[in-house]
Structures are given as C-alpha cells and as structure tokens.
Amino acid sequence: MAVSTVQITDEQRTQYQEEGYFILEKVIPERHLQVLRDQCRRFIDKQDAEMDAAGTDVLGISHRNKRYFVAHPSLESPEIRDFLVSDLMAEICRATVGPDAWVYWEQYVVKAAEVGLKFGWHQDSAFGEATPHQPYVSCWCALDDMTEENGTTYILPYSRAGGMRLFGHEREEGTNDLIGYTGDDPGEIVLVPAGSIAVFSSYTLHRSGTNATDRMRRVYLAQYSGEVIMRKDGDKPWGRAEPFLENGERVAAAS
C-alpha cells in the first residue's frame, strides 16, 4: 500500500477544532476512486432486493430510487476496505480524532438522478443508540463532481451554529430524517471535484440538497472515532469499533 502524500496543514487542523470541518480537494487516489464508483451499483441493487423482501420502498432513511444509505460495504469488499484503512484515512484521523482511532461506521450515500431527496440539517452524533461520546470524524468522499444542482452538502461552521455541542433533533415526517437546526443560515456549500473529501466533526451541522441532474450523485462516507463508543442499553460497542490506529500507527490490515 502506497504511503499517503497528502499533508494536512496546521491551518486545516485549527479550522477543524474551531469550526468543525476542512476540505481536501482531489486527494483520493484514482484506483480507490474507481473501486468506490464501480461497486456502488452492486450495493444499491442489494438494498433494493432487501426492500423487495420486506415489501417496502423505504428502509430507515433509504427511499427506493430516490436516496440510498448502504452501510458497511467494506465487510463484503476487500477493495473498499483497502481504502477504508488506507494511509490517507490514517492521516486524516491523526489530524482530527488523534493517535488512537477506531473505524466507527461507513456507508454509501447516494441520491438518484432527477428525484434524489434532500437531507435536512443534522449532526451525525444524533443518529444511533450510543452513549454520550466525544465527536468522531466523518470523511465525506465525493465520487462525482459536487454541484448545487446534484445535491452537494452544506456545512454550518461552529461559530455560526452556536458552538460545538450536540443539539436536540426532531424526526421529520415522511423522510424519517432527524432535524437539528431550523434557522435561516444556508451554510457553506461544498463545491468540489470528484476525489475530494469534506472532513467534518460528528457535531458539525450539515445538510444536502436535491439532485436535479440526470446522473446519480454518489458519496462514500467513512467515520472514525477516537474512543470505543458504547451502546445506551448495555456494555457492547455501538458501531464497528474496529481498531485502526494505536499510538499513531496503523493496526488494521488491508486485504
């Protein structure tokens, strides 16, 4: 596995701590980008089959032919795992959650062509059944060029959201989205080419628009925590809790 040549600057580290995010443009190696693109359709088809078996067009926050959230594809794809535990992702973790890191979650986030649903303002830490925890890092990996028209993401910096804290969320009828902000700040739009990564904290409010183009808008989201995050209802971890870094060194093996 090639060593990452991406250098995260002191300014980006500071921006992450003070505002909850930074952007890395065109940093995903081409071979990883192609794998993530090529395998996306396979996992959408799998989720459609799960909907068929359940006799529904909605699974959680996935809506058939509109919006898909497909969790943990790397468990079935060694090629995706190679990216999930790559040196690039290790470098991001060191700059954000610190020298010890665990794979917390990963998923495809896809908006279908022409009818791709929006997603309201939310914080990633509001989802799930976890005990209170330190913010983890979300790596929003653009598999396509991101535009306002295809439903890119918008980020609300800490200084404009009211600080670094977890807000209360209400479930939105019809979409099952959890909504954590109802103010009028539009946020900072993320307009980046394919292969870029928006790096933001799980306490950072973000949203996305609808996809009005004739092509899918594809994202691979990888999330890493600086601690093992536990379930509310017992002593088991919530999420993957897979060791990735220990004292700054990778302990997770690629395929």
Tens of pLDDT, residues 158-200: 999 999 998 888 888 877 788 988 899 999 999 999 999 999 9
* Residue 6 domain-assigned (yes or no): no
User: Confidence band (pLDDT; 50, 70, 90) for 117?
Assistant: low
CA distance to 86, 180, 211, 236, per residue, from 61 (Å): 29, 16, 16, 24
CATH number at residue 78: 2.60.120.620
Q: Has residue 7 been placed in a domain?
A: no
- Which pLDDT does position 141 carry in this prediction? 98
Domain of 228 in residue numbering reads as 20-250
pTM score: 0.91
3-state DSSP assignment of residue 44: helix
Which residues, at least 6 apart from 151, have a Cβ–Cβ distance to it below 8 Å?
111, 116, 118, 208, 209, 210, 211, 212, 217
Rounded-to-integer distance, Cα 196 and Cα 68, Å: 20
In a domain, 5, yes or no: no
Work out how many domains the chain is built from and give that number. 1
SS3 216: coil
Burial level of 233, CB count in 10 A (0-12/13-18/19+)? exposed
Whether 48 shows a pLDDT value over 70: the answer reads yes
Residue 13 lies in a domain: no
Whether 108 is in a domain gets the answer yes
Residue 11 lies in a domain: no
Q: How confident is the model at residue 1 (pLDDT cuts 50, 70, 90)?
A: very low
**Is 10 inside a domain boundary?**
no
Q: What is the pLDDT of residue 193?
A: 98
